[in-house]
Amino acid sequence: MDETKQQDNPSAHRSFHPEKYAPTKGPGRTVSQEESGNPHGTPSKSMGSRGEEQSKGSGDKGMHDLGPRGRSQRPSGTKDASASTGVDPQEPPGTRSAG
Q: What is the pLDDT of residues 15-26, one digit of tens each?
A: 899 889 988 888
Distances (CA, A) of 65 to 1, 41, 59, 69, 78: 64, 42, 9, 11, 7
pTM, to two decimals: 0.27
36 secondary structure, DSSP code: S
What are the tens digits of pLDDT across the range 54-84? Answer: 655 556 777 788 888 888 888 888 888 777 7
Burial status of residue 80 (CB atoms within 10 A of its CB: 0-12, 13-18, 19 or more): middle
Calpha distance 20→26 (Å, rounded): 16
